[in-house]
Structure 1
Amino acid sequence: MLMLTPTAIEAVRTITSGDGSPAEAGLRIFSATENAQALQLAVAAAPAEQDQVLSADGSRIFLDEKAAAFLDDKILDTGVDDEGQSTFVVAPQGQNQPGQDAPQG
């Protein structure tokens, strides 16, 4: 299942809690291509019928079937691009990601 870092949770909450947004709004991630290699993001008032819904600390993410399968073993984080703009970053699970503590062992 897609994991979210604390910074991603906060970003999703910020994006989806704008003025006039319904309480059940979320960030919808959906496949833009047949093989789910290109994903699109949009704020949605509610999930589509077949969407998988992830909720964490007041944030909601809706994944279409292809996006859910592609992101099943990934982590969603946030980063800053070369122009200083915030972006979402997808990385494989199991790697030490920003915002996560190193595994103890």
Structure 2
Amino acid sequence: MLTVTDNARTAVDTLAEQAGVPAEGGLRIAQSAEQPGNFELALVPAPQPEDQRVDESGQTNVFVDSESAPALDTLQLDADPSTEGPGFVLTPQQA
């Protein structure tokens, strides 16, 4: 299952708060319809019915669409803070 780093949790929470996303909403990761093999990240007001919640801490809402979940099983979501705002990256999970 995709894991979420502390940096990514903080970035998701900050972005969701700034955007006024409701408490049940969060960051959704899904396959790109326009670029197969790539993923799109978006703030959403609520997950889709088939989405999986992946942040095991229960503190941050990160959702993955069911079709993307197998491809993300061995990855972790991290955030790189910058002056323009955080950039999210998917990297192999730490052993």
Structure 1 residues 9 and 36: CA distance shift in structure 2, 3 A: farther
CA RMSD of aligned residues (A): 2.5
Per the TM alignment, residue 20 of structure 1 is displaced from its structure 2 partner at its CA by 3.6
Per the TM alignment, residue 31 of structure 1 is displaced from its structure 2 partner at its CA by 0.5
Cα distance in 2 between the residues matched to 1:23 and 1:84: 25
What residue ranges of structure 2 are gaps of 5+ in the alignment?
none
Cα distance in 2 between the residues matched to 1:85 and 1:10: 12
* TM-score, normalised by the number of residues in structure 1: 0.74
Structure 1 residues 66 and 36: CA distance shift in structure 2, 3 A: farther
In our comparison, the structure showing a higher alpha carbon Rg is 1
Report 1:36-51 matches (<5 A): 37-51=37-51
Q: Which residue of 1 aligns with 2:90?
A: 90
Cα distance in 1 between the residues matched to 2:22 and 2:81: 28
Q: Which residue of 2 aligns with 1:79?
A: 80
Per the TM alignment, residue 75 of structure 1 is displaced from its structure 2 partner at its CA by 1.0
Higher RCO structure (Cα 8 Å, ≥6 apart): 2
Structure 1 residues 91 and 24: CA distance shift in structure 2, 3 A: same
Identity of aligned residues (%): 35
Cα distance in 1 between the residues matched to 2:93 and 2:43: 25
Per the TM alignment, residue 30 of structure 1 is displaced from its structure 2 partner at its CA by 0.6
Q: Deviations over 1:47-96 (max 9, x none)?
A: 10110012335210110022211111101111257x8652111111136x
Report the count of equivalent residues. Answer: 94
Q: Secondary structure at the match of 1:14?
A: helix
